[in-house]
Homo-oligomer: A and B are copies of this chain.
């Protein structure tokens, strides 16, 4: 599963050398709640679905849910779910599944104690230290995707790092898909805003994999993030995506955006109840569309800032909500998703400690998908080129923490310990020389220079060094191989669809 030797040699510095590897957490998930408490939260969520219900703005979904046994009030577009109906549909969802990538060595496994790290998806802006924060272009988006491809610690592209504002909104998803499928050989998330964009992703993914829609059905390759409009509402665009993804056997990652105190109650327990209710409502819809359709429990619960009412991310509450969400998802039998979040506006200490607060919770809770794992700034409004590098270093370190301590006899080093005299040093021992170069994680970004050398060389902080790293990485980029016929087919598809869209407008 390591990247090919040739590409590895040509690439520098550091980042691309980190091996492709799906991290597995070797110890059990952190139990913040007792099993009874998880069950109580789930039962409370089922109460909400039964007594209060959820609004589905799209009509077809209400019909589907009605024929599946839900109570629908058409005037209010409100759907109430019997708890047994929810449980029955939930039981159809797989607890683990695979996701194909264009390069089979980069196929993903979603579930169990495995983690997948996805790059940032969705911001309005991009930023770097040279040009600051700005609306991004398609050229810049392609550069960002090249970096995502180069960083082997990132397992999945996150559905477009930012909006390419130089392209028309009706068709820019086609340009995104084309870039995802030619600049990367990793799995890439969909841009599931409405039926057409979702169908385009399904068609182009089938083309990229040299298969058809039936082939996709057998082996899923498309994952879409489905956000509810919390509280208790699913809009039409998202519903259309659920209907198409589920019908095609592709993955709905159902993620309420519940900020305790604004989009959900100002308590962690109430927020967990509401989040779980919303997830279960959409799980039920997906299973009503197609029994066994792969779905995920999405966690994006945090809290508002108490002084200002602004969103607060990477907080202690966020970490606790993530750990509890993991427990609830496991109790439901669903793989789950969390994120690497911060509200910081620059790549500083806050960006890093809020990111770590998020990432440790992901790891300890066995988050199966860490969305926005690298690049996110400003509460998700901006994709930063430097933050991408800082986050990749943090992910590589996290991945390294999960490697077991080796305990073979020569690792215990009894002879080396006896050989070095008291107060001496191990630098030159045979035992050290044999393993020195590969013994420890080789840093990509972190500096171990002493203060004097560091100052002489410009006293660059981590963000400034990251700026140099992504530029070198970009200069060294080699696109992954692609069958020219497939590339042509993808280009043809986007051109044809753009003409359709232009004609319709």
Contacts and interface: CB of A to CB of B under 8 A. Distances in A.
A312 B440 CA distance: 10
Nearest to A43: B412
A233 B424 CA distance: 9
A413 B37 CA distance: 15
B344 A423 contact: no
A220 to B, nearest CB: 30
A52 B427 CA distance: 19
A485 interface: no
Contacts of A480: none
A27 B30 contact: yes
B47 A436 contact: no
A147 interface: no
Given A360-B356, A407-B37, A270 B397 contact: no
B305 A448 contact: yes
A351 interface: yes
Contact of A420 (B231, B356, B450): B231
Given A267-B413, A405-B32, A422-B233, A350 B446 contact: yes
Interface string A186-222: 0000000000000000000000000000000000000
B436 A306 contact: yes
Interface in A23-68: 26-27, 30-33, 37, 40-41, 44, 47-48, 51-52, 54-55
Nearest to A404: B32
A239 to B, nearest CB: 13
A319 interface: yes
Interface string A421-462: 111111101011001111111110111111100110001011
A293 interface: no
B353 A397 contact: yes
Q: In the assembly, how many copies of this chain are there?
A: 2
A425 B263 contact: yes
A52 B436 contact: no
Nearest to A305: B448
Contact of A439 (B31, B267, B353, B445): B267
A406 B267 contact: yes
A129 interface: no
B343 A446 contact: yes
Given A262-B427, A451-B345, A353 B393 contact: yes
A95 interface: no
A230 to B, nearest CB: 8
Contacts of A424: 231
A381 B451 contact: yes
A33 to B, nearest CB: 7
A461 B349 contact: yes
Nearest to A396: B316
Given A352-B352, A353-B355, A407-B40, A344 B447 contact: yes
Give the top 5 A-B pairs by smallest Cβ distance, nearest first.
Answer: A270-B413, A356-B356, A265-B413, A55-B422, A316-B400
Interface of A: 26-27, 30-33, 37, 40-41, 44, 47-48, 51-52, 54-55, 78, 133, 229, 231-233, 260-270, 272-274, 277, 303-312, 315-317, 319-320, 324, 343-357, 360, 364, 378-379, 381-382, 390, 393-394, 397-398, 400-401, 403-408, 411-414, 416-418, 420-427, 429, 431-432, 435-443, 445-451, 454-455, 459, 461-463
